[in-house]
Structure 1
């Protein structure tokens, strides 16, 4: 294969050039893609399922990032914002919550005149394909526009076309099931009111729901750690509050507490959680394999096995901090090349395998590792990592910088991939149910 084989078709001769690039998702990485497209003068449309920018982050906006600002801001986005008078100075040195990232960075970015008019809110992407082609047809495929079917808030379904597609739709709304088998546990539909999505605001908006209750948290990553720490504080403030931590591996601590971690806030998570466990505030049930769920009085019963023996845990609520997986149903008519294990792009998967890599040991990668047989289609951001829990925002920003350079025909810039990540010890390695390695 030569460099010419890797280059996109000449824009000057491309009949698709009049069509916009379609970006799915107006989260941090989707907006970063937009900023890079703005700088390169490429037209685009952003499809956002929510009513506002960064709709998923707003759902866990109370949670604090462990990355400093420099790892949370996309360089192209920063240049556009600073040209409008925005300044980073006031935020330097602060550990931000998700909501602060939205208010202080993402919302202003989405309001820029170069980006705002191109965002279509309450527009959910249902499917991606090619005009007049299912995935089995090959002749003329690369010359056919992409077709994206969308649904609006009023239920109206529409189809739009584009020259390329950047899928930055994330994974927060598609969590891994609670069952250790990877399937939804038997009986889950009978107790759905007692199952809570990852990262609930246990000390704020959701406090009443958890106060005085027994909560079982399932998962071994940073999402679980944040929730357990919040619930630990709640036990001291609200009588009758109890916390049980269910993990499927023998070891209880799966988050970094190393003094060598270059992200101090991340190391503090492990330290604080370890103290709660040692003090008996968080009761750990390790080696627990979940099989089914049942109603139990006014609560929920978690039924499974522990070290080969039947085991049962009764609780009022279960928090599913089991990590996330990509929604691939919308891409059934696109020719993808995904790893069999983590469901990430095949060339990227070995670089992010959670059995081998932490957040800080992922190699630089760009369009080459993200490409699929479907020319002009890319999955980026958290979704590009499939089921691997090691994603950092700065990684996604470098991904879209490379991808947009490739779309612009700038193979030199697209191939010049650089990424400096903070070193870490353990980052949810060894347990694919561990949750997300949040930025």
Structure 2
């Protein structure tokens, strides 16, 4: 016989920035969290972009409830005015926070399915009265069935990058040349990675902050080596006044500066822009690659391709739940109009919480980058506000759940050419690039450092 629902834990999927913050807020409300992380340490996805510097400061990427939980451990708060790298964020905040949560965090625990106990998605009878069943596979191959009162999915989108093809599908030949394509910002401080791009022509596909970062890093490589390193910047749209972001008008200065660095790379001749190019195929010609557009254009051969066209949510393990998702963005239906990049390109997304993140299946919430589906420009502080609201609602404090406790910085961007292609990073660990400033937009530049492992 199942335990009373009120005595069950709330399962949080992902031990990244937003998942761990969710656990902290639940504890603050007297609710028991159980965090399931597919990787072997906290911030597993964040560590995969450890060399990238966030464009949000430390003050903007530390959750208030998490800080309260860390305080008794002797944790030293980093200088709030400085900008962490992914490695900094993971080592100096995420892992200490997970350690403070203790055995409430399980590593090597990949969620393979979520449903209602005894009810597939078709069955109506007594559905809302049943707790959730969460199926987990551990790294040693064992499986377990957990019972939960609620489920907060903060697994991010880092593990599912969007493909090269302009129609949302892989370009013809894309899989066959996978050895020459990367879907992440490369770490050019790594000698092996550096050798892959030095002295070569690299196609950079995308128009958001990740693409800006790659262009800036390749320009730095060209300046240092003077060896003909060149980037071919491929945009699906044209270049306009807003292509490079908000510049000096951006209230996140490091984000504005990143766009200006990308512009400087083009102005200096280290990168050449190709506009209105929607890739249909990629062909191997000798030892090089040729990209072919839907309109028949063929680019001059390149040696490598960096695809930074965004990320998308993995919804496969949620298939037995009744989710209310927007058909285009794959974001919660009430949230989608607030973040739709086809409409919104100026200012900020209105802070939101449980009302915008609820589904027909009561008690399940997608948060963090996962909640944005295919939309871009997610900020860590947005996710912290999401889980604060959800924890309040689960504790029965509806007034606090509906109260807005966040003011977001403005982008300074109107007219939005860049947002269409670039949803943010994040895996079964919430943050891929999730945030810092956000997950893909969150990616800024700075001196890369070693991740140092778990």
TM-score, length basis structure 1 = 0.92
Aligned to 1:121: 107
Aligned to 2:201: 214
Output the CA distance in 2 between the equivalents of 1:387 and 1:282. Answer: 27
Aligned to 2:369: 382
Aligned: 1:134 with 2:120: yes
Given that 2:59 and 2:81 are in contact with CA atoms closer than 8 Å, whether structure 1 keeps it comes out as no
TM-score, length basis structure 2 = 0.89
Residues 341 and 236 of structure 1: CA distance in aligned 2, closer, same or farther (over 3 Å) = same
Given that 2:340 and 2:375 are in contact with CA atoms closer than 8 Å, whether structure 1 keeps it comes out as yes
Output the CA distance in 2 between the equivalents of 1:288 and 1:352. Answer: 25
Aligned: 1:165 with 2:154: no
Q: 2:353 aligns with which of 366, 385, 395?
A: 366
User: How many angstroms does 1:198 deviate by?
Assistant: 1.8
Pairing of 1:23-42 with structure 2 (within 5 A):
23-42=12-31
Output the CA distance in 2 between the equivalents of 1:427 and 1:132. Answer: 49
Aligned to 2:448: none
Q: 2:236 aligns with which of 248, 258, 262?
A: 248
Output the CA distance in 2 between the equivalents of 1:427 and 1:383. Answer: 25
Aligned to 1:103: 91
Q: 2:75 aligns with which of 65, 68, 86?
A: 86
Aligned to 2:45: 56
User: How many angstroms does 1:388 deviate by?
Assistant: 0.6
Aligned to 2:410: 423
User: How many angstroms does 1:313 deviate by?
Assistant: 4.2
1:314 aligns to what SS in structure 2? coil
Residues 309 and 298 of structure 1: CA distance in aligned 2, closer, same or farther (over 3 Å) = closer
Output the CA distance in 1 between the equivalents of 2:81 and 2:340. Answer: 31
Given that 2:323 and 2:360 are in contact with CA atoms closer than 8 Å, whether structure 1 keeps it comes out as yes
By relative contact order (CA 8 Å, sep 6+), the higher-ranking structure is: 2
Larger mean Cα displacement after TM superposition, 218-227 or 357-366: 357-366
Output the CA distance in 1 between the equivalents of 2:414 and 2:244. Answer: 6
Larger mean Cα displacement after TM superposition, 393-402 or 99-108: 99-108
Given that 1:202 and 1:227 are in contact with CA atoms closer than 8 Å, whether structure 2 keeps it comes out as no
Given that 1:354 and 1:390 are in contact with CA atoms closer than 8 Å, whether structure 2 keeps it comes out as no
Unaligned runs of 5+ in 1: 1-13
Larger mean Cα displacement after TM superposition, 135-144 or 26-35: 135-144
Q: 1:317 aligns with which of 304, 310, 317?
A: 304
Output the CA distance in 2 between the equivalents of 1:313 and 1:121. Answer: 46
Over the residues paired in the alignment, what is the CA RMSD in angstroms? 1.8
Unaligned runs of 5+ in 2: 425-439, 443-454
Aligned to 2:451: none
User: How many angstroms does 1:428 deviate by?
Assistant: 9.5
Q: 2:133 aligns with which of 144, 147, 152?
A: 147
Pairing of 1:337-376 with structure 2 (within 5 A):
337-358=324-345, 360-376=347-363
User: How many angstroms does 1:133 deviate by?
Assistant: 1.2
User: How many angstroms does 1:320 deviate by?
Assistant: 1.2
User: How many angstroms does 1:21 deviate by?
Assistant: 0.5
Given that 2:244 and 2:263 are in contact with CA atoms closer than 8 Å, whether structure 1 keeps it comes out as no
Output the CA distance in 2 between the equivalents of 1:213 and 1:108. Answer: 41
User: How many angstroms does 1:116 deviate by?
Assistant: 2.3
User: How many angstroms does 1:108 deviate by?
Assistant: 1.0
Structure 1 residue runs of 4+, over 6 Å off? none
Given that 1:198 and 1:224 are in contact with CA atoms closer than 8 Å, whether structure 2 keeps it comes out as no
Aligned: 1:234 with 2:221: yes
Cα displacement string for residues 36-59 of structure 1 (whole angstroms, at most 9, x for unaligned residues): 011112112111011111111101
Cα displacement string for residues 261-317 of structure 1 (whole angstroms, at most 9, x for unaligned residues): 111111111111111111111111111110012222223222114xx4432342221
Output the CA distance in 2 between the equivalents of 1:67 and 1:153. Answer: 34
Given that 2:233 and 2:274 are in contact with CA atoms closer than 8 Å, whether structure 1 keeps it comes out as yes
